[in-house]
Amino acid sequence: MKSLFLPLLVLLSLAANADPLPDCLDNQGQVLPIDNAQVLEWKSSTQNQFRARAHVRGTLVKLYHDKNNHKHFGIQIGDNEGETLEVIYEKSFGPLPDLAPGMIVEACGDYITSSQATSQYPRSPDDAIIHWIHRSNSPHHPSGFVAINDVAFGT
């Protein structure tokens, strides 16, 4: 019993000292709850380049090559194979921890169905992305964030 008490105490202490995650706001300034089901519906029912504001939580399952100063990785947001989303984080908003499969990822940002290449963007390996997951200096665009194991980055 004693051997379980100390690790539990350490975890509770870390949780108590962690900063709360920021609210995820939609384009009208309303708090947007985590809604993986909505994002999976958009992924399966919308045309290429559909865009919407999204807030998801999942498990990191795949690391992709960095491109153009952006980190790319895939998260599982549903129970079934293929219910994944590519997360794209701009490194100029600060470093991320060393990423590894199994980490818990929460992302607030702009969802885009990316099932076909366009003249400007390649197709996502997950057929959908979430990006703009960092603070915004624009009064016309809400800030986003990414949290890795409940620690926020890009804020």
Q: How many domains does one find in the chain?
A: 1
**H-type alpha helices, 1-155:** 2-17, 36-45
DSSP code for 5? H
Residue holding tokens 């380049």?
A: 49
**pTM, entire model:** 0.86
pLDDT along the chain (155 residues), means of 10: 47 55 93 98 97 98 96 98 96 95 98 94 96 89 95 93
* CATH code of 87's domain: 2.40.50.140
Q: How many degrees, rounded to 5, is the angle at CA 53 between CA 44 and CA 55?
A: 85
**What does the pLDDT read at residue 121?**
86
Domain residues for 19? 2-153
